Structure 1
């Protein structure tokens, strides 16, 4: 225990030193040619701490960072992001950003950071915080949550329409209420199209173990699933690798990404899409929109704590990948093609409209999804 505390303390010292590097005052030259110190501080400082997935998870941590950087370009402020290599780093990272860096808003990314964020926010009531994927009811905390079940419903529709075997798969990170929403929506969407469809569900008990993702994917593909959706962060890279390997061997299989448009965001060392030929679509979770909006609130002086902001289909907080509709960066046009036929997209749009209009209420729990039926879309 003493060793762990010492490691955490040393990590904090190193972190604080790195935080201040590049974020202090700047030097300028006056009319006489002498160098002077500009001690004026920026009006706003934003901080972000990832969970164990890290900034380059090609998923929601990266999306959160993207949203803040977009706001930074628009409004101009100082920004520092730090990565947590373990759960022991959550509290030190949040404290370093909020106290040492005097962040005006500190983001905790992921439900796994709920306890750490609650502890730090409770002890520092004069500081403002925001958390993604969890609800913390404190006057200085804004909670940013999503209707992942609604977006997952749409990719479930796609999977059910495009499967050749009548069996599809799901790989989750860790079982719980949050990932259960992805699973529930996916199953419900598939059942909306085909009540008799089979769904193979497995969990990796990790959000970073790509080898486990490959192992689970090969097992599901081997037992008849030809389309697999993941909600497992970095574990999903293993799914993509398995799909690519099987496709090279002549198998007709697909993978479905999550959080970001993974057909265009998962790149190789040459900055080219790695798995665009096996990623059927992705369920987009606009964490970037959420972090952008919370940051804008601080910049504009309209931030409100003890509030929960919910992002669903209506709020454009979830949906299917733009690349599925041919919306691809110009330099990727020849590398990324739409893998979802137009007739399937038309059906997806009908289900999306029905959800937005309240004609379909997507279940949040897998147990409810297993008996889900609807006749809202003909």
Structure 2
């Protein structure tokens, strides 16, 4: 038995002796063909045997296997990861989870290295910075989390066709350098909107009769405009079809003063329950809620203590869990670039933090209705259609 390189892969090839009685024949007594008169015949059999074994090895190779269109991604022996943060980690729980997931994975696995790079808030510089980092050739994959990041990676990838990108909270199909994982934010917005609808129609201290809920965003982008805001309103209208949403945009991810101005204006216009996708700027919303009295439901992270008693519900997004699972797939050679996956509550990547703060902040009747709704969401019993991006 020996190992041979066949079609780029090591293949075990068993060569049986030309004098093996199982190959050349034997008498009933186990004798083999020997003697000068059989020498040419044995040499011929030997050549046939070796050739036959090589052909079998080639057929077994994935390159030659019938029906195989592509080779599976190879499993790397080492992995160098660039965690590219489009913003800063501080004040952004999704980015914190992204960075922590990658660094924890590196700590748990030999031959894995991680660099976390914060690109800051100047979006005009994001592509240039990423290009410079990729140009070093140091990173096997670029890992990021931003709905707008795939398009940027397409541009960078054209210059570096061997670079691979993995992006969460985003969706793109068909680019062989990019793999995306989209959280079903329409679904999360739907159940947070349902809770907002229960609160705004309640007799809670700061609820009014105007049937207005609010949504403050840092910037507009397709996932926000097509999934999150519509989902938030649709969920609220499952409680009362007369509910409307007041949607405002800050213009960046850090201006807490502008967020406070918008929240104050919306409060004066009748909004009593807010949602926000605004990064660090959301601190302005928390400030207004505490000073003027308003309720908040929050996407993705635990923010109950940001405005105690007023943040009445928090969704959860299992970013760290997803990141570590995806990186494990990279190491195992299982990631299929060019494809996209959507994950939500049913798959265990979105949820709701029904902790002690939730219990204390909401009356029993609201919690009973909302808990039943969440159970139906997890079971796939709530009918809804996710709009196309």
TM-score (norm 1): 0.72
Which position in structure 1 is the counterpart of 2:238? 192
Deviations 1:79-127 (A, max 9, x none): 1111112224323443444442622221132123333211222332322
Which position in structure 1 is the counterpart of 2:105? 71
Which position in structure 1 is the counterpart of 2:78? 43
1:174 partnered with 2:206: no
Partner of residue 119 from structure 2, selected from 77, 80, 84: 84
Distance in structure 1 (CA, Å) of the matches to 2:306 and 2:199 = 22
Which position in structure 1 is the counterpart of 2:290? 244
Q: Secondary structure at the match of 2:382?
A: coil
Q: Secondary structure at the match of 1:259?
A: coil
The Cα of 1:159 is off from its aligned counterpart by 1.3
Partner of residue 235 from structure 1, selected from 281, 291, 312: 281
Which position in structure 1 is the counterpart of 2:355? 325
Distance in structure 1 (CA, Å) of the matches to 2:109 and 2:370 = 36
Which position in structure 1 is the counterpart of 2:145? 109
Structure 1 residues 364 and 222 mapped into 2: Cα distance closer, same or farther (>3 Å)? farther
Partner of residue 316 from structure 1, selected from 348, 360, 363: 348
Partner of residue 371 from structure 2, selected from 329, 343, 349: 349
Distance in structure 1 (CA, Å) of the matches to 2:146 and 2:168 = 5
CA contact under 8 A between 2:218 and 2:278: conserved in structure 1? yes
Distance in structure 1 (CA, Å) of the matches to 2:153 and 2:119 = 13
Partner of residue 154 from structure 1, selected from 169, 181, 191: 191
Partner of residue 302 from structure 2, selected from 258, 261, 264: 261
Q: Secondary structure at the match of 1:226?
A: strand
Distance in structure 1 (CA, Å) of the matches to 2:101 and 2:308 = 24
CA contact under 8 A between 1:48 and 1:97: conserved in structure 2? no
TM-score (norm 2): 0.70
What is the aligned length? 300
Which position in structure 2 is the counterpart of 1:307? 339
The Cα of 1:214 is off from its aligned counterpart by 0.8
- Which segments of structure 1 move beyond 6 Å, counting only runs of 4 or more? none
Q: Secondary structure at the match of 2:336?
A: coil
Output the aligned Cα RMSD.
Answer: 2.6
Distance in structure 1 (CA, Å) of the matches to 2:288 and 2:383 = 34
The Cα of 1:285 is off from its aligned counterpart by 2.8
The Cα of 1:337 is off from its aligned counterpart by 7.0
CA contact under 8 A between 1:148 and 1:285: conserved in structure 2? no
Report the structure number with the largest CA radius of gyration.
Answer: 2
1:208 partnered with 2:245: no
Q: Which runs of 5+ in 1 are unaligned?
A: 1-41, 264-272, 329-335, 367-378
Distance in structure 2 (CA, Å) of the matches to 1:95 and 1:276 = 43
1:124 partnered with 2:160: yes
